[in-house]
C-alpha cells in the first residue's frame, strides 16, 4: 500500500448501498492500525442503495426480520433493534422476529450501525462519506487515482467496487416522446413519474418479478384504480412466502449431484415428495442456499450458462418469494379482474391517439406480433447484471475501456479471483482493486443475499486489513532501528472520526 504524505492508508469503497456500507462497518470495527475509510456515493445517507432508499411503507423486506442481521455471530441483532422501534414497541418478540419490516427501516438499521462503528473505531481509524460519483479511476504504480463528477480527485491504496445493481435497460424500442409525456416510466422507483399514471384506465407492466409487485403497491397507494396488464417473457411471478421451517439435508448426506440436469430433477422430486406427505415445498429454498453455493463453485461452466439461460426464471420464483401482504394484494387484484399476467415479450412502444401508448408484443411460443393500447407503461424488469452493457455508467464504461476488469464467467458481472480481487482484461489479478456484491453475479449464484454479503465483506475486510498490517510492518522494518516506533500513529490520523 502507498502512504499519503505520511498519513494513514486509504481504502476507498465505491458505492454506498448495503454491501459497500457493510464492508465499511467491518473495517471500522476490526482495524487496529491507522486507516482512512472513504465511501463514495451521492446519496444523502449510506447503507440504503436502491433497495432500502424507498420511502414507501408498503415496500417490505421479502423475508422475516430474523433473516436480516448484519452480524451472523449475533443472529438476533436486527430483531432486537427492530423491537425497539416505535411501530414494534410492545409486540411479542416472536412476532417481531417473524415481521416483514419496511425496507426503509432496514436502511435506518444499516445507517445506524455505520454510525456506531464510527464512534467505536480505534483511534486513528477514520471514516468519510464523500457525496459524489466516481466517473473514472486509473492505476498508477502502487496507488489508484479516482476522478469524481464534482471535479475532485481522490487517491487510494485500495479500491473496492460495490456499485450494487443497475436499473435494467429494456430490450424493446420506446419512442422518446412517451417518457417526456409521462406515459412511459423507465425507472419504477421514480414516484413522481408513477403518480402521472394514476388517472390511466389501463397500465402495462413489463416484467413480473418482485419489482412488479413493488410497482403495484406504489400505484395502489398513489390512488390508481385502473387495470394492470402484466407482460413477462415467462409469465412467472413470485409466490407468497410461507413460514415453513427449512428442510434438513435437502439433497441427503451426499449433497447436490454433479450436473444441473440432475440437480433440477432431484429438486422437483423432493418438492413433490414433501407436498405428497402434507408438507410445504417452501421448506426447501432456505435449506438449499449453502448447498447450491457450494455446488455452483464447482459446477461446469456449461451448466452455469444453462442455469441462467433456462433455469433462472424458475429459480427466481422458487427462491425470491413475496411478503404475504404484498402477495395478497396481487392475488386480490387478479381475483377481481384488475390484474392479469401473460407470458409475452414486448417488442416496442409507440404513440397512440389520445395521448396513449401502443404496445407491440409477441406471446410466448408464438410468432404473431400483437398490439394493445394502454394509458401508460412501466418497466418492471428489475436489475441488470450485464455490467459490460451498462454503457450509461461512466465508471463502468471506463473500467472496461482501460482493461482494468473483464466480464464474469457467464457474461454477467465482473470477473474476480477467489479472494474477490478483480481480474483484468489480460487475465492478471489486481493487487489493488476488489469487487463486492451484485457485480459477482455469475461467479456466485446469489451474491446479494444478506448472508452472502456478510460472508463476502468478512473475507474481504480480513484480506485488506492483513495487507495493511503487512505494509506497515514492512515500512517499519525499513526504518533505522532508532526511529522505529510500532505504536506510533501518524498525526493526520488522530483527527476525530468523520461524520456524514
Contact at 8 Å (CB) between 206 and 289? Answer: no
Beta strands in 248-338 (DSSP E): none
Give the C-alpha separation, 71 to 452, whole Å: 11
pLDDT at 489: 40
pLDDT at 491: 33
3-state secondary structure 41-82: CCCCCCCCHHHHCCCCCCCECCCCHHHCCCCCCCCCHHHHHH
Contact at 8 Å (CB) between 2 and 142? Answer: yes
pLDDT at 40: 98
Burial of 305 (0-12, 13-18, 19+ CB in 10 A): middle
pLDDT at 479: 67
- Residue spans of the chain under pLDDT 50: 1-3, 5, 486-500
Q: How many angstroms separate the Cα of 327 from the Cα of each of 99, 137, 184, 238, 313? A: 15, 43, 25, 8, 18
DSSP H or E run through 351? strand 339-352
Burial of 194 (0-12, 13-18, 19+ CB in 10 A): buried
pLDDT at 482: 59
Nearest residue to 174 (alpha-carbon basis) of 365, 334, 352, 41: 352
Q: Which residues pair with 35 in a beta bridge?
A: 9, 125
CA atoms within 13 A on the CB side of 259: 4
Q: How many angstroms separate the Cα of 448 from the Cα of each of 94, 194, 471? A: 26, 27, 31
* Residue bearing cell 404473431: 368
Mode of pairing for the β-strands spanning 383-384 and 166-167? antiparallel
Span 315-355, pLDDT tens digits? 888 889 999 999 999 999 999 999 999 999 999 999 999 99
Mind listing the domains of the chain with CATH numbers?
Answer: 9-59+102-165+386-494 (3.50.50.60), 173-239+322-382 (3.50.50.60), 260-319 (no CATH)
pLDDT at 50: 87
Amino acid at each position: 500500500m502507498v502512504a499519503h504524505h505520511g498519513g494513514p492508508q486509504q481504502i476507498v469503497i465505491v458505492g454506498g448501498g448495503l454491501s459497500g456500507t457493510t464492508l465499511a462497518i467491518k473495517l471500522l470495527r476490526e482495524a487496529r492500525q491507522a486507516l482512512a475509510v472513504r465511501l463514495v456515493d451521492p446519496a444523502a445517507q449510506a447503507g440504503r442503495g436502491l433497495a432500502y432508499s424507498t420511502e414507501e411503507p408498503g415496500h417490505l423486506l421479502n423475508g422475516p426480520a430474523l433473516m436480516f442481521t448484519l452480524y451472523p455471530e449475533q443472529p438476533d441483532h436486527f430483531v432486537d433493534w427492530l423491537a425497539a422501534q416505535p411501530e414494534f414497541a410492545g409486540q411479542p418478540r416472536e412476532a417481531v422476529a417473524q415481521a416483514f419490516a419496511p425496507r426503509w427501516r432496514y436502511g435506518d438499521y444499516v445507517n445506524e450501525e455505520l454510525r456506531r462503528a464510527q464512534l467505536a473505531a480505534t483511534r486513528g481509524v477514520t471514516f468519510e462519506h464523500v457525496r459524489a460519483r466516481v466517473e473514472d479511476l486509473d492505476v498508477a504504480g502502487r496507488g489508484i487515482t479516482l476522478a469524481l463528477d464534482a471535479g475532485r480527485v481522490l487517491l487510494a491504496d485500495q479500491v473496492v467496487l460495490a456499485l450494487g445493481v443497475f436499473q435494467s435497460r429494456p430490450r424493446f424500442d420506446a419512442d422518446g416522446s412517451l417518457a417526456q409525456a409521462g406515459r412511459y416510466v423507465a425507472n419504477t422507483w421514480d414516484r413522481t413519474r408513477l403518480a402521472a399514471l394514476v388517472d390511466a384506465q389501463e397500465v402495462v407492466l413489463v416484467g413480473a418479478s418482485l419489482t412488479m409487485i413493488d410497482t403495484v403497491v406504489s400505484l395502489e397507494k398513489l390512488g390508481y384504480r385502473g387495470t394492470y396488464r402484466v407482460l413477462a417473457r415467462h409469465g412467472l411471478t413470485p409466490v407468497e412466502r410461507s413460514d415453513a421451517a427449512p428442510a434438513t439435508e435437502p439433497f441427503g448426506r451426499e449433497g447436490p449431484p454433479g450436473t444441473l440436469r440432475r440437480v433440477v430433477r432431484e429438486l422437483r422430486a423432493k418438492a413433490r415428495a414433501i407436498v405428497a406427505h402434507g408438507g410445504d415445498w417452501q421448506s426447501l429454498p432456505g435449506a438449499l442456499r449453502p448447498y447450491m453455493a457450494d455446488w455452483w463453485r464447482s459446477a461446469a461452466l456449461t451448466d452455469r450458462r444453462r442455469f441462467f439461460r433456462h433455469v433462472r426464471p424458475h429459480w427466481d420464483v422458487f427462491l425470491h418469494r413475496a411478503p404475504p401482504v404484498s402477495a395478497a394484494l396481487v392475488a386480490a387484484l387478479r381475483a377481481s379482474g384488475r390484474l392479469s399476467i401473460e407470458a409475452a415479450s414486448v417488442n416496442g412502444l409507440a404513440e397512440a391517439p389520445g395521448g396513449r401508448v401502443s404496445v407491440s408484443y409477441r406471446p410466448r411460443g408464438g410468432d404473431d406480433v400483437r398490439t394493445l393500447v394502454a394509458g401508460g407503461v412501466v418497466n418492471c424488469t428489475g436489475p441488470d447484471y450485464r455490467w459490460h452493457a451498462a454503457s450509461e455508467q461512466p465508471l463502468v464504461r471506463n473500467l472496461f475501456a482501460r482493461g482494468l476488469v473483464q466480464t464474469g464467467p457467464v457474461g454477467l458481472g465482473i470477473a474476480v479471483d477467489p479472494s474477490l480481487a478483480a481480474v483484468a482484461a489480460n487475465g492478471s489479478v489486481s493487487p489493488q482493486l476488489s469487487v463486492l456484491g451484485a457485480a459477482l453475479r455469475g461467479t456466485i449464484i446469489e451474491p446479494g443475499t444478506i448472508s452472502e454479503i456478510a460472508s463476502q465483506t468478512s473475507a474481504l475486510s480480513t484480506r485488506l486489513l492483513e495487507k495493511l498490517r503487512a505494509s506497515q510492518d514492512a515500512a517499519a522494518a525499513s526504518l533505522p532501528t532508532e526511529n522505529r516506533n510500532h505504536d506510533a500513529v501518524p498525526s493526520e490520523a488522530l483527527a476525530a472520526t468523520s461524520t456524514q
